Amino acid sequence: MPEERYDDSQKATWVRAYIGLGSNDGDRLGFVQQAMQLLKDYPGIEVVECSSLYETEPVGNDYVEWFVNAVAAVETSLTPLELLDVCREIEKRLAALAGASAPVVFREGLEGQIKARIIDLDILFYGDKRVKMPELLVPPTDLTKRAFALVPLLEIAPELEHPSLGKTVAEIHENLLAPEQVFLYGTRDSCPDFEME
């Protein structure tokens, strides 16, 4: 299949896009909820559906604290780059509100500094387009491996088809090999760790 490149010079008609939101620092729940509200305030964006909030295990060695994640389905007349600009602007606004100069900060931990993210907004899907630009790749390359994005998507758009793979969100989720733990927000502490006998 030939590579499709989105031409951002042409104004978009209204397109259904999906935006992942996440925070693992400070008032995680509040930051995600505020980011969702700020999305609603921008011209050219209409939030049509929001997933539940999930508490998710951090991936890799960059982060220590668990995240709060969600996905918003939006109808937008913005181009991918314009939508990216909105996401970055929301990240900056909430970081400033938290007294930080950037959405990613470093906190003192038991073994030195640990990385923390006040808020993160990622464009997961933009209609049925593959967007490939130096500053933006949609869908993100690692989306197919990340339960923290797929589980909220599974809730609100299980039949959404990946434009490169031709598989639905439900099919991609079903084929996850080693997913990180994902809990509906508020239930993690009530779920005991499984023990092998």
Q: Where are the alpha helices (DSSP H) in the chain?
A: 28-41, 80-97, 147-156, 169-174
Q: What is the pLDDT of residue 189?
A: 82
| Architecture in CATH of 15-189 | 2-Layer Sandwich (3.30)
Give the CA-trace dihedral at 185, 67, 88, 125, to 10 degrees: -70
Residue 148 φ/ψ region, left for φ over 0, alpha for ψ in the -120 to 50 degree band, beta for the rest: alpha
Q: What is the pLDDT of residue 111?
A: 67
pLDDT tens by residue, 102-121: 999 988 766 667 899 999 99
Q: What is the pLDDT of residue 194?
A: 45
Q: What is the pLDDT of residue 13?
A: 87
Global model pTM greater than 0.85: yes
Please identify every stretch of the chain with a pLDDT value under 50, giving residue numbers as ranges: 1-3, 194-197
Q: How far apart are CA 20 and CA 138, in angstroms?
A: 12
